[in-house]
Structure 1
Amino acid sequence: MAAQQHGMVEKRGAGIWLTHAFMVLGVLIIFFPIWLAFVASTVSQPEIVSPPMPIWPGDQFWENYRAALFAGVNVPVATMLFNSLVMAIGIAVGKIVISLLSAFAIVYFRFPGRTTFFWLIFLTLMLPVEVRIVPTFEVVAGFGMLNSYYGLIFPLIASATATFLFRQFFLTIPDELAEAARVDGARPMRFFVDIVVPMSRTNIAALFVILFIYGWNQYLWPLLITTDPEMNTIVMGIKQMFPSGDDVAEWPVIMATSILAMIPPVIVVVSMQKLFVRGLVDSEK
């Protein structure tokens, strides 16, 4: 019996090592293109265009990143990073606030047609911004929100997915909590702020990460409503850096911009990793 258990432990140990080896290999495969982009952002233009391309960082790090941040091609990358940051945070916070309030109203308030309203909200999943882009553009233009942060953010802050997720979580909160709050004389918004929102923090963190990256990666909508280069986002900026015709691409600056564009989403994911995982997998929040 002891010999069998020892054999099982050895097999399990071998399986764990094999699993970790495949994980490390997968990480290396995924990380290698990012490493090449970083290397390309630290060398000179001749070193990139003359094969073979180097695989170790060069000595042009500060020059290339300074050129990207403060010079850029059309607009400094620092300006585009700021625009993307405002847009991503605005979309994430706006979606979460509206979805929290919508789900709270649907779950805790009794009013005619609340189920119908919920399913109408849910049906908007079938109408993403790309489908309704022409009427949305007309509304935004009519309100004079072209080339503005309001125009970048407001049309994208409604979220049926977040409303659905918050509604499902609110349904798991015991009714006794709402009854106790009512007995203590707490108004609905007091119950919402003091009890519901703190209990939803892991869900909020998980959604914030997802929605921040969603807002950060937006390309079509900013491209459509911004004509002022000062309002360009970083995703638009990277696309505009690629030359047309016989122009030569400044690959070190382009690669430096790409690396800079990765940093804010990585910071958000890493800093909120624990809450993000708990918000996705924990059944008891």
Structure 2
Amino acid sequence: MIENRPGLDFLAHLVLILGVAIVALPVWIAFVASTHPPSAFVSGTIPMLPGPDLITNYSRMLGSGVSSSGTPPVSTMMMNSLIMALMIAIGKIAISMTSAFAIVYFRFPFRNLAFWCIFITMMLPVEVRIVPTFKVVADLGMLNSYWGLSVPLIASATATFLFRQVFLTIPDELTEAARIDGAGPMKFFRDILLPLSRTNMAALFVILFIYGWNQYLWPLLVTTSSDYYTIVAGIKRLADAVDGVPQWHLVMATAMLAMLPPVAVVIGMQRLFVKGLVDTEK
């Protein structure tokens, strides 16, 4: 029985509205700051209403960037971040699915040991192994390249564990039926496992895309050419003004533009993302 309590409904909506306001207020302040000229920040007060320079600030950052900070146009940095995030997300999903497929469906010596060796690498993020990883990337000549930005971040023990758990829930009768029909391992993988894992792949893609898009330390380390700067590292370079005051209106405009692709991915894949996290039926 569901009780009708208007007071609790009002309290629940009030808490939700307050939560949205707390989250949205910094975004609104960043947007307002990106529409004002630099003189609006001289007084030390933050304006709360949009200003007249929205088109000017955004077109400048998209078209020419800020040469004094050594940052290229935002469109170039966003393209670099997009390529890096897509390579990381797609590469992680592809490698994790095939490794989980091998661990679950193939019987080979030390199979469980191989899985636990992969799983233990979760305790070694890129920040811990950053010096030897940089040495390997430098020796392979992959500095200032999309491969150098993406390949060291592609392997994922978390994604392998997720797909392993998904494959373990698939009934053995389905595997036997595919074998009786003459389906080989790769045909079974392509025609049965991939369609059944579609929602899980979508949920993981959203998480990994945002993970790749928000990378800061590794791109900052392996890129010295402005042609390969990513958007997050670009924001940091804009804020670190060496010979002057940071142009906060341009920094905020860049930050607003940097939020658009992750938000678009989350909104566009929201239904599959939620279904992939909560749906357990196969």
Name the TM tier (shorter chain): over 0.9
SS at match of 1:218: coil
Residue in 2 that maps onto 1:275: 272
Measure, in 1, the Cα distance between the counterparts of 2:175 and 2:42: 66
2:3 to 4, 9, 23: 9
TM-score of the pair, normalised by structure 1: 0.94
1:32 to 22, 25, 34: 25
User: Counterpart of 2:33 in structure 1: which amino acid?
Assistant: A
User: Counterpart of 2:224 in structure 1: which amino acid?
Assistant: T
Residue in 2 that maps onto 1:232: 229
Measure, in 1, the Cα distance between the counterparts of 2:75 and 2:254: 10
> Which stretch shows the higher mean deviation, 18-27 or 246-255?
246-255
Per-residue CA deviation, residues 193-229 of structure 1 (Å, 9 max, x unaligned), is: 1110110111111111111111011111111111101
Is residue 199 of structure 2 the alignment partner of residue 202 of structure 1?
Answer: yes
Q: In the TM superposition, what are the counterparts of 1:1-285 in structure 2 within 5 Å?
A: 9-11=3-5, 13-73=6-66, 74-285=71-282
Per-residue CA deviation, residues 13-53 of structure 1 (Å, 9 max, x unaligned), is: 43122111110111011101100100111111111332432
**Structure 2 unaligned blocks of 5 or more:** none
SS at match of 1:55: coil
How far did residue 251 of structure 1 move? 1.4
> How many equivalent residue pairs?
278
**Structure 1 unaligned blocks of 5 or more:** none
User: Counterpart of 2:252 in structure 1: which amino acid?
Assistant: M
TM-score of the pair, normalised by structure 2: 0.95
The 4+ residue runs of structure 1 with deviation greater than 6 A are none
Measure, in 1, the Cα distance between the counterparts of 2:132 and 2:44: 49
CA RMSD of aligned residues (A): 1.3
Measure, in 2, the Cα distance between the counterparts of 1:66 and 1:160: 41
Measure, in 2, the Cα distance between the counterparts of 1:263 and 1:60: 20
User: Counterpart of 2:149 in structure 1: which amino acid?
Assistant: L
Percent identical residues: 62
Per-residue CA deviation, residues 56-82 of structure 1 (Å, 9 max, x unaligned), is: 111111100011111112211110000
